[in-house]
A and B are shown apart, each in its own frame.
Chain A
Amino acid sequence: MGVSRRLFLRGAAAAAALMALPRALLAWPEKAFKAGSSDDAMQALFGTTDASASSAVVLSAPDIAENGRVVPVSVSSTLDGVESISIIVEQNPSPLAASFDLGPGAVADVSTRLKMGKTSNVIAVVKADGKLYTATKEVKVTIGGCGG
């Protein structure tokens, strides 16, 4: 049996709190996070927009968001030598939503929650052995109601 979800979440929360501290000390890719388009963000973060779609990148996101303010998204990859995992929300004013740098030996599996103003493609970008691989999924944001 694995560790319970509850304990894992508590551990993750504690780890996140610790990780939050040194963020300011690390190199913060400000230009990439402030970019106004997906291409500009990719260019600023990776120095290129060349990426290929890959089934080795698994992006898990809802088809329709239950709450556009907190959309749960997970990205994992079976590729070797994963250096980073980034998540782009095409239609957000600042499309780059998150970027995780992975140390050697780290498991390529990250989860986060994104804020989405409207329906958009969500793109997971995995950098492995210097190359970029992507998976894309449309996540719909609706005002809801009227279901029956």
Chain B
Amino acid sequence: MERRDFLRLLGIGVLAGGAAGCAARGTRGATASSLKAMYDVAPFGNVRLLHFTDCHAQLLPVYFREPNVNLGIGAARGRPPHLVGEALLRYADIAPGTPQAHAYTYLDFEAEARRLGRVGGFAHLATLVKKLRAEAPGGKALLLDGGDTWQGSGTALWTRGGDMVDACNLLGVDIMTGHWEFTYLEDEVRANIDAFDGEFVAQNIKLTDDAAFFDVPAFDEISGHAFPPYTLREMGGQRIAVIGQAFPYTPIANPSRFIPNWTFGIRAQELQALVDDIRARENPAAVILLSHNGMDVDLKLASVTSGLDVILGGHTHDGVPVPSIVANAGGGRTVVTNAGSNGKFLAVLDLDLDGGRMKDFRYRLLPVFSDLLTADAEMADYITGVRAPYKEQLRETLAVAESVLYRRGNFNGTFDQVICDGLMAVEDAQIALSPGFRWGTSILPGDPITMERLLDQTCITYPETYVREMTGEELKLILEDVADNLFNPDPFYQQGGDMVRLGGMNYVCDPLAEIGQRISNMTLDSGELIEAGKRYKVAGWATVGSQSPGRPVWDVVAEYLRAEKTISVDRLNTPVLKNVANNPGISAYPS
């Protein structure tokens, strides 16, 4: 069945794709004033929700290149979010060469970024939020933040998330959940949540049994919930429930040693019980899940539960212009969205609630083009002030980019290659490993690689580097493990981010194979085969299990960049891929 027929059959008005497409077709070569029309959102329904996610502490406008590799495996093949480039434009009916095409895809990135300028920035976001709030029914809208907000910049690291808490208070965030927020120490997390004016919700974070035994404070001692699992709001005479879903695999993907008292998980059965309980006791007109699961997990979660009207999703950084509509286990349906990253998008969800249910909705994922929005003066002042003590460190130019530098994608981005090359050069290693994070901003050729941009890629609370010998067998084990966390056909078993980034070695990867069979033909850059029993000198960073002994990765890479002076990336240690021909989740990949 065609998507449009499916939507029509459901009787639900999904105008986002079509509307974006229409607007897009009219804006080729248009003036700034006509481009601004994309922010005129026609009023609809009686309740407005605004949603952003995964801004990774980017207070100022940035460049952010969307991926050209975002493979969907199994049931996920060819469906959002696993569509890149032209395949995504076709799916969402967006004309190439338009601002929307630039926002949602990597196509012609450098030229379009120069034409349309930077994206995001809290002062510009604040202006857009204020406008959309003022235009909402009754002049009120709920602003929801999906998390990964308090980490990702040098200033967020140095203020332990504090700069972002205050920025979110100024922005007026009403409700949030989290992931990287939990990479600070437990006491710091609690202090940040205390300082946050909105509500922090998570149904899937509980005290460990040990913590409960030793009187660690919790929101609910009986259920064990560390934080309120949900909140209720009255708007436009309607009652809506917002349940929080933090990143389920935080203590696996990130160090559990920072937050030993909390245990996570998807907890689908408990979520279902909670939804049923809220519906029975509180009788809301709509139940929303504010989720940091990642889109594939959200799509499956929607199919195995019932009673959720909308899942507003994040984590996987997918800027998906058209929401997905999923048939539930119980016969209903759930709208599933994902709202991109780095402050680049603001989602607008208008709900028509009546008779205790959601009758209809409109969804739009608006790109935040900084040049089209006036900076909010109060927020701009705040940002200037909070950055002032760190200005000198941030603006040091380490080198100049001669290629587009970016990270996002299933395999090495150009900035990952720079990090790996730097680790190998400075530590005199044969191979480098670097984590497959999805965050990290982009740099255009000719622009300086400042310490701030390097920190955008690296500033975590466990940045220490290591150099050690690993056997070929150990390397294979690591690659297989990470590949399964990305390509397991069951999303509930996908723990990871993107594939681990490599320097100095190459391999063949078959994403469709089983764990243990995906990785083959591992070779050094010289072409020499990597042998299972042989030892290799490996440099890396971001160890989750225990603290590594070396310097922070940004110090190591900064040393490399200062010595190189200019950076041009003309090769990537990306794998040769098998069984992905014609997959619409990959494009412009070296074959």
Contacts and interface: CB of A to CB of B under 8 A. Distances in A.
B221 A145 contact: no
A47 interface: no
B545 A9 contact: no
B215 A145 contact: no
Pick from B249, B435, B437 the residue with the most CB of A within 10 Å: B249
8 tightest Cβ-Cβ pairs between the two chains A and B: A147-B253, A148-B437, A148-B497, A145-B544, A146-B435, A144-B252, A63-B492, A4-B221
Interface stretch (A25-33, A38-46, A64-72): A64-72
B263 A66 contact: yes
Interface string A1-21: 110111001100100000000
Contacts of B269: 60
Interface of A: 1-2, 4-6, 9-10, 13, 60, 62-67, 72, 119, 138, 140, 142-148
B251 interface: yes
Pick from A2, A9, A119, A147 the residue with the most CB of B within 10 Å: A147
A144 B544 contact: yes
B485 A6 contact: no
Nearest to B435: A146
B545 to A, nearest CB: 7
B496 A66 contact: no
Interface in B239-272: 247-254, 256, 263-266, 269
Given A60-B269, A72-B263, A146-B498, 9 more contacts: A4-B222, A9-B209, A67-B256, A145-B496, A145-B544, A145-B545, A146-B253, A146-B435, A146-B485
Contacts of B89: none
Nearest to B477: A143
Nearest to A113: B209
B268 to A, nearest CB: 9
24 contacts: A9-B209, A9-B212, A60-B269, A64-B492, A64-B495, A65-B252, A66-B256, A119-B515, A140-B484, A142-B484, A143-B478, A144-B252, A144-B545, A145-B496, A145-B544, A146-B436, A146-B500, A146-B542, A147-B247, A147-B253, A148-B253, A148-B438, A148-B439, A148-B498
A138 B488 CA distance: 13
A52 B302 CA distance: 29
A91 B543 CA distance: 27
Nearest to A143: B481
B137 interface: no
Nearest to A7: B221
Pick from B247, B481, B543 the residue with the most CB of A within 10 Å: B481
A72 to B, nearest CB: 7
Interface in B436-452: 436-439
Given A64-B252, A66-B251, A66-B256, A147 B496 contact: yes
A145 B435 contact: yes
B224 interface: yes
B227 to A, nearest CB: 15
B129 interface: no
B495 A147 contact: yes
B482 interface: yes
Contacts of A1: 222
A66 B495 CA distance: 10
B579 interface: no
B438 A142 contact: no
A2 B221 CA distance: 10
B252 A148 contact: no
B441 to A, nearest CB: 14
Nearest to A138: B493
Nearest to B247: A147
Interface in B213-238: 213, 215, 221-224
Pick from A64, A72, A138, A143 the residue with the most CB of B within 10 Å: A64
Contact of A142 (B250, B492, B495, B497): B495
Interface in B459-487: 477-478, 481-482, 484-485
Contacts of B437: 146-148
A5 B497 contact: no
B265 A62 contact: yes
A146 B249 contact: no
Contacts of B207: 5
